[in-house]
Structure 1
Amino acid sequence: MKTKVNEIIIRTRRRLFGPNIGNNISAFQGNGIDFAELKEYTYGEDVRKINWKVTAREQKPYINVFNEERELNIVVGFLMGGSIYFGSRRQKQEVMAEILALLGFSALKNSDRVTNIFYDTDVVRWFKPTKSMNTIHAALEYALDTEVLGRRSDLQGFADFLLRSIRQRSIVILLGDFYEEADLSYLGARHELYAVTVRDPFEENPAFWGETELMDPETMARFSLEASGATRAAWRKWLKAHDEKFALHCTKHRIRHTKIYTDEDPFLKLRELMK
Structure 2
Amino acid sequence: MNKKAHEILIRTRRRLFGQNVGNNISTFQGNGIDFAELKEYTYGDDVRKINWKVTAREQKPYINVFNEERELNIVIVYMVSGSIYFGTVRQKQEVMAEMLALLGFAALKNSDRVTSIFYDEEVLEWFKPSKSPNIVYAALEYALNVDVLRRRTSLQKVADFLLRAIRERSIVLLLGDFYDIADLSLLGAKHEVYAVIVRDRFEENPAFAGEYDLIDPVSGQHHLLDLTPATLQRYREDLLRHDRALEGHFLKERIGFTKIYTDEDPFIKLREMLK
Same fold (TM over 0.5): yes
Please list the CA deviations of residues 180-206 of structure 1 after superposition, one character each: whole Å capped at 9, or x if unmatched.
Answer: 121111100100000000000000001
* Identical pairs, percent: 67
**Whole-angstrom distance in 1 between the partners of 2:165 and 2:31:** 22
Name the amino acid aligned to 1:178: F
2:138 alignment counterpart: 138
CA contact (8 A) 2:30 2:171 kept: no
Q: 1:217 to 1:34 in 2, by over 3 A?
A: farther
Q: Is 1:209 the equivalent of 2:209?
A: yes
Does the CA contact (< 8 Å) of 1:9 and 1:101 recur in 2?
A: yes
- The aligned counterpart of 2:160 is 160
Deviation at residue 69 of structure 1 after TM alignment: 3.3
Partner SS state of residue 208, structure 1: coil
User: How many Å separate the matches in 1 of 2:139 and 2:20?
Assistant: 27
Corresponding position of 2:190: 190
CA distance in 2, matches of 1:215, 1:31: 44
Tell me, in whole angstroms, the C-alpha distance in 2 between the residues paired with 1:30 and 1:151: 32
TM-score calculated relative to the size of structure 2: 0.88
Which has the greater radius of gyration? 1
CA distance in 2, matches of 1:159, 1:107: 22
CA RMSD of aligned residues (A): 1.8
Match runs of 1:256-275 below 5 Å: 256-275=256-275
Deviations 1:127-167 (A, max 9, x none): 00011111110000000000000111111100110011100
**Does 1:117 pair with 2:135?**
no
Would you say the 8 A contact 1:32–1:71 is kept in 2?
no
**Letter of the 2:2 counterpart:** K
Paired residues of 2:216 and 2:222 also in contact (CA < 8 A): yes
- Number of paired residues? 251
Structure 1 distance, partners of 2:68, 2:273, is 25
1:3 positional shift: 0.8
What does 1:217-236 correspond to in 2, within 5 Å? Answer: 217-236=217-236
Give the Å deviation of 1:37: 2.8
Q: Secondary structure, in 3 states, of the residue corresponding to 2:162? A: helix
The answer on whether the counterparts of 1:83 and 1:217 sit within 8 Å (CA) in structure 2 is yes
Instruction: Give the C-alpha shift of residue 66 in structure 1.
Output: 3.6
> Structure 2 regions of 5+ residues with no counterpart?
40-63
2:47 equivalent in structure 1: none
> Any idea what SS the aligned residue of 2:240 has?
helix
Q: Which residue of 2 aligns with 1:89?
A: 89
Q: Secondary structure of 1:98's match? A: helix
Residue 26 of structure 1: CA displacement?
Answer: 1.4
1:126 aligns with: 126
Q: CA deviation at 1:68?
A: 6.6
Q: What is the TM-score normalised by the length of structure 1?
A: 0.88
> Aligned equivalents of 2:31 and 2:199: distance in 1?
33
